[in-house]
A and B are shown apart, each in its own frame.
Chain A
Amino acid sequence: MCNMDNYKYLIIGNSAGAVGCIEGLRSIDKSGTVALVAEEDSHVYSRALIPYYLSGRITREQMYYRPFDFYDRARVSVIKGHRAVKIDSAERVVELDNGGRLGYGRLLIATGGKPVFPPIPGFDQQQNVFGFHSLPDLQGIEKELIYAHNAVVLGGGVIGLMAAEALHKNGMKVHVLELSERLLAPVVDETVSRLVEDALQKAGVALYLNNTIAQVNGDDWVESVTLKDGQIIPCDLLIVGVGVAPRAELAEGTDIAFNRGIVVNKKMQTSVPGIYACGDCASTYNFVTGAGQNLPLWPNAYLGGRIAGFNMAGIERAFVQGTTMNAMHFFDVNIVNAGINVTGSNQDDSLGVIQEYEQNSRNYRKFVLSESGQLKGFILVGQIARAGIFLNLMRRQIDVRAFQQDLFKKDFGYADLPDALRWELLQDDVILGVV
């Protein structure tokens, strides 16, 4: 053991979870040493902004998630361009790809996810095939944009559709391939899928449902793709957006428990003392189902990291705010959802559903209620103002049956709650009893 740097806190990863952790622990421990290992060379940026950059909404500089002096001000030693390859949890040492060794007191694994590339005949490292996940992906896509006319997007989920819209706005003919019979299948219900399909088709995006790539054609560059049903589509740019899998190689060969993500408790601790995990690489507590689950979404990653940071600094906090939640927009359709999404295929008899769809305005609301009237999930399309109030009712496990019809009011708010409940929820926000 020679000249090894030791840190009180060591963070592996450089995205939402890492930033959340730093901001959490620095609000408690101002002086403990912190180091961060980042595989990419870039300053911390937001992957979620890739479609916004590509569609011209923001500049390259606006993709940075925190100011350039963020790490200096937080007194974090950043080790960029290196990958952590091994954890020795007995010695509390992390080994890097250049042989460097870093000692830690508390370790956070925030390594995120990696795009899934399904095995498809003909896939062979062609140069115009990209994920939609990283700056290198983005830089590669940008280069191809100059020449490309036909873009094929494999995957009709949130990532694939955001990619499709951004490419469409770059003037490309975009083809979206979705294996299931509808877009956004696990995220929203059929009504919403159809609304999104309408919006995309109206804009001129070609959709291929119940379909996928059977064969990729072209050697160095993909030139076309042959679909499952035999159609051949010209392809100058292929985006693979079928999903993201937890990056948990570091946990392999250790005692860190893994189950579709690095398993953590509500304090974000893994099964190995001193090691924490959060974000897309982890399996975290879902407050709606009460189960551990991979919840690869930005707010969950940041908040999970923040809670980990508090606990690493010795302040007990529980991560009880996480569940599936999305704020999405595809062309002019705004959608938010959170919690359990009841569709025909996963109907649970103990859950009730109330919903309303206005054909003309294309406003849609659906709420999933438990037997005891608690909100377990919701989807709003169109009118999404003040959606957070529903999430708050869900988090606080409020029985909504007394006012469930009011949930459909466009201007639903605290005024619609029964007096006692309203003033309990707003006890620190209003002054009562003065008259």
Chain B
Amino acid sequence: MGRIKAKPEFCMGCHLCEVWCAVAHSKSKHIIKAFLYEQDKPLPRLVVEENLPLTFALQCRHCAEPDCVAACISGALWKDPESGLVIHDPEQCVGCYSCVLTCPYGSIFINPGKREIVKCDLCTGLDTMYCVSHCPNEALVYEDS
């Protein structure tokens, strides 16, 4: 399967990937409505690593042998054999944070209000990968492997 890769030399640290990731995973998918009016504030599922002047975005690598899946006590995380995605089912998740402890990339994010986690789903069901398509300087690319 493919994965999203960052180009640190192109990244300007604008954090728009985080903003648009949150929008992509909001109810309305509308940047204003999502942040102003939605009850569950949308959360990004990637992080801009920052140690200025260095910046680059990092999200779930959808590992071949995912540690988060091995650690999940509830069966809420699994690796889909067909798509290669590491998928999270929020209904099944109890928020034990074993995945937070084991993800080597720190790419499982805690929703502090709700004892649950969020992670990258490569924008499954959407027409584009929002972090890639909204990066103003093409510092994120999707590479098919």
**Chain A interfacial positions (CB closer than 8 Å to B):** 20, 27, 46, 48-49, 52, 57-58, 62, 64-66, 298-299, 302-303, 306, 321, 325-327, 329, 334, 336, 338, 384-389, 391-392, 395, 411, 413-416, 426, 428-435
Contact = CB atoms under 8 A, between A and B. Distances in A.
A280 B106 CA distance: 27
B141 interface: yes
Contact of B97 (A299, A336, A431): A336
A46 B74 contact: yes
A57 B74 CA distance: 12
A385 B109 CA distance: 7
Interface residues of B, number: 43
B16 interface: no
Contacts of B74: 46, 48-49, 52, 58, 62, 65
Contacts of B104: 388-389, 391-392, 395
Given A336-B101, A388-B102, A388-B103, A298 B49 contact: no
A387 B101 contact: yes
A415 B50 contact: yes
Interface string B1-38: 00101111110000000000000000000000000000
Contact of B5 (A20, A325, A429): A429
Contacts of A411: 50
Interface of B: 3, 5-10, 47, 49-51, 54-56, 58, 61, 67, 70-71, 73-75, 81, 91-92, 94-106, 108-110, 115, 141
- 5 tightest A-B contacts by CB? A386-B106, A392-B104, A415-B51, A48-B73, A415-B49
A434 B54 contact: no
B47 to A, nearest CB: 7
A65 B141 CA distance: 35
B1 to A, nearest CB: 13
Contacts of B3: 429
Contact of B70 (A20, A58, A386, A432): A20
